[in-house]
Amino acid sequence: MRITDAMRAVFVELLVHGPMSRAEVARRLDLSPSALTKVAKPLLDAGYLIEQSSDGQKGVGRPSQPLQVDASRLSFIGIKLTADELFAVRADMTAVIQDQLSLPLAGHDVDTIVAQIAEVVRRLTEAHRDVAGVGISLAGTATPGDPVVGTSPFLGWSQVPLARLVEEAVGIPTVIDNDVRALTVAQQWFGEGVGRSSFALLTVGAGIGCGLVLGGRVVTGRSGATGMIGHLAIDDRGPLCERGHRGCARAYATSTAIRRTIAITLDQPDLTFDDCLELARRGQPVARRVLDDAGRALGQVIATVANIIGPELVILSGEAVHMYPLCADALQAALTQHTHWTSTPVPVSVKPFTFAEWARGAAVSALQHLLLHS
C-alpha cells in the first residue's frame, strides 16, 4: 500500500486525537467528505483504521460512526540506555506498554551493548511478529534521522553507528534519539502535550535536560544538540559542578549534587539521595536549605526557558522528580521572581516518572519516525 501525505495526516490525527467522527476529521484537516472517504478507505481495508460502533466496540458500521486507529495492528520496541542498565518495553501504536524488562549492562563496549540489545529485542518479539521498529534513547547527541550517536558521555561513546549495528543484528528498522527528546515526543502525542502547539519538558535526575515543542514540532537543532540547560548560571558564588562551573543549575539541582552537598556538609558519606530527601522531610536544616536551593535553581531555569520560547506548559519529570514536594515553594517563588514582568508564570505540571517511561519514549520516537518520514 502506497502511503500518501493525506493518508499519513489522517492516520496521525486519529492516532493522537481519536476516535472521532469523519466530519470532525475532515474539519480538522480541511478535507471534503468525499476526499476523506477516498483517503480513509485504503487504511480501513488494510486494518489500520476501524470504525467504532455506538457502544464503543469495533465494527463495520456506517460512515457516521467514529474512526479510530487499531492500536494493536503494529508494535514497537523502545530501549533506554543508562550508564548501568538497559530498560526495554514493547508498546502498541498508542504507546500502551504491553511488556517490559530491564538488564544490567555487561559493560560499555559497543559490541557488548549491541548484543544485549539484540537479546532484549528477541525476548520481547519472540511471540509477537508485528514489531515495526526499534527505538533506542540515551543521554547524548542523537537524532532519528542519523544512525550515529555523536557523543554519549555516560557510555564514553563518540561517533558510534548504533542504529545501523542494531538494525543489522535484529533485522528491524531502528532509530536512535536523545532520551529527553524521546520523552518529549511521547508527551507530545500521548501525554500532556496533546493539543498544545508549544510546551517544554524539563527532566531532573543525574543531569538536567530539556525537550522543546514549538509550532507543533519537536525541536532537534544542529546535530541533535538542543535543551542543553544543565549549566545555565544560577549564582556565581555557588558550588562547583562536576565540570568545574561555579553555581550552574547542575551544581544545585541534580540528584548527584544534592546528595553530595548534604553528605559532605553533614559528614555522612554513605547517605543516598532518598536519605537526603527524608532528612529534608523531617526538617533537618542542612537538607532543607539544599532542597530549597535546588528548587530556586529549577524555578530560575524554568523561567529562563519560558521567557525565551513562551511555552503553554512546562512538564517536570525525571528520576529525581519525586523531590518536587520538598522544593515546590522555592521553585514557584523563583519562577515568579524570574519570569519577565510582562508575563505570568508558566504552568508547571509534575509528571511521575519510571524508567519504563524513558523506554516508552524511545518506542514513540520509532513510531513517529516511521509515520512521518517513511
What pLDDT is attached to residue 224? 67
Q: Is the pLDDT of residue 111 over 90?
A: yes
Across 233-250, average pLDDT: 90
Between 111-115, 126-130, 163-167, the lowest mean confidence (pLDDT) is in: 126-130
pLDDT tens for residues 320-363? 999 999 999 999 999 999 999 999 999 999 998 888 999 999 99
Strand partners, 316: 202, 350
Domain residue spans of the chain: 5-72, 74-186+356-373, 193-350
Mutual angle of helices 355-373 and 5-17, in 10-degree steps: 150
What pLDDT is attached to residue 3? 82
Instruction: Please list, residue by residue across 321-358, b when 16 or more beta carbons sit within 10 angstroms of its beta carbon and e when fewer do.
Output: bebbebbbebbeebbeebbeeeeebbebeebebebbbb
What pLDDT is attached to residue 373? 80
What class is the 74-186+356-373 domain? alpha beta
| Band of pLDDT at residue 61, cut at 50, 70 and 90 | very low
pLDDT tens for residues 143-155? 998 999 999 988 9
DSSP notation for 247-275: TBHHHHHSHHHHHHHHHHHHT-TT--HHH
- At 2 the three-state DSSP class reads coil
Q: Is the pLDDT of residue 59 over 70?
A: no
Given this chain, do its domains 5-72 and 74-186+356-373 carry the same CATH topology?
Answer: no
193-350 domain in CATH 3.40.50.360?
A: no
- How far apart CA 88 and CA 121 sit, in angstroms, is 8
What pLDDT is attached to residue 162? 97
What pLDDT is attached to residue 225? 72
| Band of pLDDT at residue 55, cut at 50, 70 and 90 | low
| Cα 141 → chain centroid | 15
**Residue 76, CB half-sphere, CA atoms under 13 Å: how many?**
29
Mean pLDDT across the chain: 92
What class is the 5-72 domain? mainly alpha
Quick one: which H or E segment has residue 175? strand 174-178
Q: Is the pLDDT of residue 132 over 50?
A: yes
> What pTM does this model have?
0.91
Between 92-101, 222-231, 245-254, 354-363, the lowest mean confidence (pLDDT) is in: 222-231
Q: Is the pLDDT of residue 56 over 80?
A: no
What pLDDT is attached to residue 65? 82
